[in-house]
Amino acid sequence: MRIFYRLCKMSSIMPPPQSLLKPMNFPRKSLYGPGPSNCPPRVLAACALPLLGHCHPEFFQIMDEIKEGVQYAFQTQNELTLAISGTGHAGMEAAVCNMVEPKDVVVVFSAGLWGERFADMAERHDADVRVVEKPMGAVFTLDDVKQALDHHKPSVAFIAHSESSSTVMQPLEGIGDLCKSHNCILIVDCVASLGGAPMFMDQWNIDVLYSGSQKVLSCPPGAAPISLNQRARNKLAARKTKVRSFYLDMNWLGNYWGCDGQPRKYHHTGPISSMYALREGLSMLVEEGLEECQARHQKCANILYEGLEKMGLKPFVKNKAHRLPTLTAVEVPDGIDWKKVSQYAMDKYKIELAGGLGASAGKVWRLGFMGYNAQPENVRTTLRVLQEGIEWYRNSPQSKL
């Protein structure tokens, strides 16, 4: 070691970092927050399979199967359906950069962090962004949507189906029809709801829909399902300017994913292991059935609501019909430090009780039971741990904490 160090000094190479000579530290944790959720062993095993080349026929077949799985999860026949190589944000960026051209009027229905983020991204593409804002926890009515479309006459509109900062699930029926009649492209974010709540891309006339892999699909983060319908493809084809991201250009991606009937060309190296995992996560969804999977999430949500009520705790979203079945914000009672209670749950039980996000930070816990984690016993355990943590906090003198 000493000789090696001297050698390094002589040639002035940085010494090797000692930290990398130790094994990685990763305790097993129960990830009952807004994602990532725990991966089932089957998905983890898929990640460990030997690599194929990113343009080998066997990998193309896996990509084709992923496409079919995404079409099923989205309930769409759209040909241009694939998985972006990146997390949910990459799906969001892809939706923005392919649909938005400079000076396009973009209406963003915003009642939480995801509306804010979308507006930020659209601004980066020089759109004329009009934010229609509501307080966290609120949903937009068809009347709100119609008024905004009449007033702003946008060419693109965004709304989050799963506003995971407030844990609201925005009703979508009718919004797509309104956008269509106003000649406006509707982009919807369903990252936190896909698989856990009904989604009908075609029936609901959604033009662009994107999601993520690490929530209900219980895969590692790194693949973002996305689909564009014919209206969205027409807007893409009619662009006067190039898509500003090469990596996320749906023309190129559609070719790599075999969606345009042309021979597939190298665009980028598909993240092989992430795609194996997504293929496995989608297989599990298909085996269980979409409706059964959604029912399992709703059942867990109902057990959670009942348990919270017994404990005198209140979900942040008052109207049951507007709650996300996958993720629930729970109001932190007066006099309780949410962070200390979460720390208690992590230290003692390795259970993640996540905090709020954006404007809900500090005011709520967000409890998520997604995919592999959506099991009644996990919900019951979490309820017990939350109760124990709150009692522990109430009974501990502040100075001892």
Q: Given the complex with ligand PLP, which of 281 and 389 has the nearer CB atom?
A: 281
Q: Given the complex with ligand PLP, which of 293 and 390 has the nearer CB atom?
A: 293
- The whole-angstrom separation of Cα 74 and Cα 82 is 11
Neighbours of 399 (CB within 10 A): 5
Tokens representing 62 are 């896996």
Neighbours of 343 (CB within 10 A): 15
Q: Given the complex with ligand PLP, which of 155 and 166 has the nearer CB atom?
A: 166
Q: Given the complex with ligand PLP, which of 212 and 389 has the nearer CB atom?
A: 212
Least Å distance between CB 328 and ligand PLP? 13
Least Å distance between CB 211 and ligand PLP? 8
**Which phi and psi angles does 251 have, rounded to 5°?**
-65, -50
Question: Whose CB is nearest to ligand PLP?
Answer: 88
Residues forming contacts to ligand PLP in the complex (CB under 6 A) are 34-35, 87-89, 114, 160, 162, 164, 189, 191-192, 212, 221
Least Å distance between CB 89 and ligand PLP? 3
Least Å distance between CB 23 and ligand PLP? 27
Listing DSSP states for 62-108 in one string gives: HHHHHHHHHHHHHT---SEEEEEES-HHHHHHHHHHHH--TT-EEEE
- Spell out where 149-304 has E strands: 156-160, 162-163, 168-169, 185-189, 208-210, 223-228
Contact 106, 121 (CB under 8 A): no
Rg (CA), the chain: 23
**How large is the angle between the packed helices 290-311 and 272-288, nearest 10 degrees?**
80
Tokens representing 361 are 């930070």
Least Å distance between CB 163 and ligand PLP? 6
Least Å distance between CB 86 and ligand PLP? 8
Q: Given the complex with ligand PLP, which of 107 and 370 has the nearer CB atom?
A: 370
Least Å distance between CB 16 and ligand PLP? 32
Element (DSSP H or E) covering residue 392? helix 376-395
Least Å distance between CB 87 and ligand PLP? 3
β partners of residue 167: none
Q: Given the complex with ligand PLP, which of 156 and 160 has the nearer CB atom?
A: 160
- The whole-angstrom separation of Cα 151 and Cα 385 is 49
Q: Given the complex with ligand PLP, which of 88 and 325 has the nearer CB atom?
A: 88
Q: List CB contacts of 366: < 8 A, sequence separation 6 or more.
A: 33, 34, 164, 167, 327, 328, 329, 330, 354, 355, 356, 357, 360
Question: What's CA 295's distance to the chain center, in Å?
Answer: 19
Q: Given the complex with ligand PLP, which of 164 and 255 has the nearer CB atom?
A: 164
Q: Given the complex with ligand PLP, which of 39 and 390 has the nearer CB atom?
A: 39
User: Which residue bears the tokens 């026949």?
Assistant: 77
Annotated binding-site residue? 366: yes
- The whole-angstrom separation of Cα 274 and Cα 222 is 6
Least Å distance between CB 375 and ligand PLP? 21
- Spell out where 155-297 has E strands: 156-160, 162-163, 168-169, 185-189, 208-210, 223-228
Binding site, by residue number, is 366
Binding site for substrate, by residue number, is 366
